[in-house]
Structure 1
Amino acid sequence: MTSFLRVLGPAWSAVLLVVLVGAFRPETPVLGLAGSFLTGRYPLHVALAAVLGILLGLAVRKAGAPLVGYATATVALAAVIGMVAVLAAQGRAAAGEGVRLDWTAALTRVGQPSGEPDRTVEFAPGRELDLYLPSGPGPHPTMVWVHGGSWVGGERDDRTTMNRWLADRGWAVAAVDYRLPETGWGAADAAPVGRHQQRDVACAVDWVRAHPGTELDPGRLVLAGQSAGATLALGTTSGLLDGTLACSEAPAAYGGTGPADAPPPVPGPPPIGVVAYHPPVDLALVDPDLQQTLFGGAAADAPGLMRLLSPSEQVRPGLPPTLLLLGSADHYVHPERVTAYDAELRAAGTPGRLVTVPYADHVFDQPFGSPGAQLTREAMIRFLSGLD
């Protein structure tokens, strides 16, 4: 047992040290990503692990290894202090949104268990959406939710519990599929997929518009998504509003009217808002392999597509209210660029705001109970309520 504790103590300390350095120095290679990932998603778990580290250090000392024990306990104490600072910052951010954090949920709701959609429908050949419906009488304001996955993966059930949470608060949610590189119609359509993915989302919007009545209200339609899905929500909204995007541009095999230069149909009610969780807004900054997927080459070599796909290229007066949700230590979307994009939107007269979660990295909201997920959900529902 003594030998085991002498090995476990330094190993435990090393993990805590990685998290501690990464949380407060997110720019540190490798450590920064590991630390901010954990402090964004599981800060309370890390704090408890640090408390256990102190107890482990005392046990190692008692087992006859005082130096190892003191070192383990000291690192763990520093981690406790650091995690208290993280939790306090996230608590203050929540309080600023009028949210009282549920720490039991932060500890126990560590994923997205099924929110059980009411039904699944095909909104276009080969494409499905899951509908989450409120229990009360409609028609209900409706959110089209677009999943993330870096434009190459992901599933429409990535936020299923959140979708049910929204339905319980009066918002119908249509969580949609869109084509991925491996699910294109063939070699000619597999790459670049960026514009085709926008058309898929536009087809989902058309489906909602075509089904008004007792359940859905297309006159109160919001587009939303996370990560790549947030970028698609922003870009699709822009294209629908300026008339450059429509489902009818899709090939006939997909159910559109093709050819690609066919005039778009008369638009339905425009989206009244956008919610974007940690969106990549400047696609010139994404990984070169993803640029190949989106543009068929480097973004710099496709200026026309850049204007159509990159939200930073689409800022102008007349865009609907836009809520941006971001982790301060996001290693994927360049927080300073999202902050600048927010300033550009507001300067152009677009209502809305940016909500930032301290010490959080990308997809901090994936655990339903994380502090960042709790505070941003409440910010979102208040934003949505203001659109009615």
Structure 2
Amino acid sequence: MTDTEFDIRSLPFPDALRWLRENGEPADPRTDIDTASLRRRFPRLASVTTTDLEVDSPHGPQPARLYRDASAPASGRGLVWVHGGAFIGGYLDMPESNWVALELAARGIPVFAVDYTKCLGDVHFPVPSDDVLAAWDHARSNAQELLGVTPDGLVLGGASAGGTLTAGAIARLRDAGRDVPAGIVSVYPAAHPDGGHPGEIPDPASPMTQIALNYAGSAELLADPHVFPGLGSGEGFPPTLVVVCELDGLRPSGEAFAALLADAGVDVAVHFEPGADHAHINEPADPTALPTIEAIADWIGGRARFPALAESESGAT
């Protein structure tokens, strides 16, 4: 079987994990998601410059990529962005990382997109979380040079597994008494061990729980709020944007996480994307993808008024 003959996401999780361990990240069969193709499709991206870098992490150097557009009106904010991939896949060239970063940079929000060690074989928490923290520390220490903003102008964000990692990193920063980011963007996160049923005891047979256990590394850590931040306290979190999708099986987790933060008095905005499914911003052709990216840009730039949490939960936009 070749890389292009199947979608690895269609495999049962144990099989997908085994396949990735043996073969590595599969090639994406799409021929129109490389940067050159995206620039042709979206001319507004033409002025965005990219620079490939590395971040020193306790677990080895991790790839990173800087996105800036000198022609775009500066927002005064920069974003450290972390892609998803069920903690076992994903990379900087996937649209959820590359296209999202290009679009935000073109709107005046420079982006530092980062990768992390995947939970394959013996790798589990805290390894990918440590990588995200190392990337955050690097960006904060070099904010002006890298992104042209002050350290206090940096926002941390991620999608899916990346949303889990970034929210967990903020919980770790808070509990260590360290400064937290100016804000957090959490796009369709898995903030609970079973994102479809937050508040319930995780079902070991559930695919979501299997992904969670592989990330956590033990059943005990499934209850750790540094691993799954929806289980902890929302106190001390910065202003937060949570994106939830109408058709996403993880939508209950995102909504519960937003409610947890709101109950703690955190300034929470919820963007509900009608007609969207999980990972929709990994598909530039999806008509629901660009509205989500625009909502992220508007929130980071302070240009948006989002509905109250109760309205968002009922499907208002």
Please give the TM-score of this superposition, normalised by the length of structure 1.
Answer: 0.57
| Separation in structure 2 between the aligned mates of residue 243 and residue 379 of structure 1, nearest angstrom | 31
> Aligned AA for 1:163?
A
1:166/1:231 Cα in 2 relative to 1: closer, same or farther (>3 Å)?
same
| Separation in structure 1 between the aligned mates of residue 145 and residue 131 of structure 2, nearest angstrom | 25
Per the alignment, residue 226 of structure 2 pairs with 308
> Aligned AA for 2:103?
W
RMSD after superposition: 2.8
The residue matched to 1:181 in structure 2 has which SS?
coil
Per the alignment, residue 319 of structure 1 pairs with 237
The equivalent position to 1:148 in structure 2, one of 64, 84, 88, is 84
Asked if structure 1 preserves the Cα contact closer than 8 Å seen for 2:185 and 2:242, the reply is: yes
Cα deviations by residue, 1:221-257 (Å, 9 ceiling, x for unpaired):
111111101111111122112217xxxxxxxxxxxxx
Cα deviations by residue, 1:118-165 (Å, 9 ceiling, x for unpaired):
211111142120110121598953211111110011112323122111
Per the alignment, residue 38 of structure 1 pairs with none
| Separation in structure 2 between the aligned mates of residue 138 and residue 214 of structure 1, nearest angstrom | 15
The equivalent position to 2:208 in structure 1, one of 278, 284, 287, is 287
Give the CA deviation at 1:117.
Answer: 5.4
| Separation in structure 2 between the aligned mates of residue 293 and residue 360 of structure 1, nearest angstrom | 27
Per the alignment, residue 366 of structure 1 pairs with 282
Q: Per residue, is there more helix in 1 or in 2? A: 1
The equivalent position to 1:133 in structure 2, one of 48, 68, 71, is 68
| Separation in structure 1 between the aligned mates of residue 236 and residue 166 of structure 2, nearest angstrom | 16
Between 1:112-121 and 1:145-154, the stretch displaced more is 112-121
Per the alignment, residue 339 of structure 1 pairs with 255
The residue matched to 1:323 in structure 2 has which SS?
strand
* Unaligned runs of at least 5 residues, structure 2: 1-9, 11-29, 39-47, 195-201, 304-317
Per the alignment, residue 144 of structure 2 pairs with 213
Query: Does residue 162 in structure 1 map to residue 100 in structure 2?
Result: yes
| Separation in structure 2 between the aligned mates of residue 280 and residue 113 of structure 1, nearest angstrom | 27
Per the alignment, residue 26 of structure 2 pairs with none
Give the CA deviation at 1:371.
Answer: 2.7
1:270/1:302 Cα in 2 relative to 1: closer, same or farther (>3 Å)?
closer
The equivalent position to 2:173 in structure 1, one of 222, 240, 251, is 240
| Separation in structure 2 between the aligned mates of residue 180 and residue 166 of structure 1, nearest angstrom | 25
Per the alignment, residue 328 of structure 1 pairs with 246
1:328/1:289 Cα in 2 relative to 1: closer, same or farther (>3 Å)?
same
1:127/1:382 Cα in 2 relative to 1: closer, same or farther (>3 Å)?
same
| Separation in structure 1 between the aligned mates of residue 166 and residue 222 of structure 2, nearest angstrom | 20
* Unaligned runs of at least 5 residues, structure 1: 1-29, 31-108, 245-266
1:210/1:339 Cα in 2 relative to 1: closer, same or farther (>3 Å)?
closer
The residue matched to 2:77 in structure 1 has which SS?
strand
Per the alignment, residue 116 of structure 2 pairs with 178
Asked if structure 2 preserves the Cα contact closer than 8 Å seen for 1:148 and 1:154, the reply is: yes
> Aligned AA for 2:186?
A
Aligned residues: 246
Cα deviations by residue, 1:260-284 (Å, 9 ceiling, x for unpaired):
xxxxxxx4x5301111111111114
1:215/1:154 Cα in 2 relative to 1: closer, same or farther (>3 Å)?
closer
Give the CA deviation at 1:203.
Answer: 0.4
Asked if structure 2 preserves the Cα contact closer than 8 Å seen for 1:139 and 1:212, the reply is: no
Per the alignment, residue 53 of structure 2 pairs with 121
1:381/1:366 Cα in 2 relative to 1: closer, same or farther (>3 Å)?
same
Instruction: Flag the structure with more relative contact order, 1 or 2, with Cα contacts below 8 A and sequence separation at least 6.
Output: 1
> Aligned AA for 1:179?
T
Give the CA deviation at 1:200.
Answer: 0.3
Per the alignment, residue 375 of structure 1 pairs with 291
The residue matched to 2:280 in structure 1 has which SS?
coil
Query: Does residue 348 in structure 1 map to residue 264 in structure 2?
Result: yes
Cα deviations by residue, 1:307-345 (Å, 9 ceiling, x for unpaired):
2111212332221111111211113x1x23322222221
1:365/1:173 Cα in 2 relative to 1: closer, same or farther (>3 Å)?
same
1:117/1:199 Cα in 2 relative to 1: closer, same or farther (>3 Å)?
farther
1:112/1:273 Cα in 2 relative to 1: closer, same or farther (>3 Å)?
farther
1:163/1:290 Cα in 2 relative to 1: closer, same or farther (>3 Å)?
same
| Separation in structure 1 between the aligned mates of residue 164 and residue 32 of structure 2, nearest angstrom | 23
> Aligned AA for 1:377?
I
* Bigger Rg over Cα: 1
| Separation in structure 2 between the aligned mates of residue 169 and residue 312 of structure 1, nearest angstrom | 31
| Separation in structure 1 between the aligned mates of residue 69 and residue 218 of structure 2, nearest angstrom | 43
> Aligned AA for 1:326?
V
The residue matched to 1:287 in structure 2 has which SS?
helix
Give the CA deviation at 1:376.
Answer: 1.3
Please give the TM-score of this superposition, normalised by the length of structure 2.
Answer: 0.69
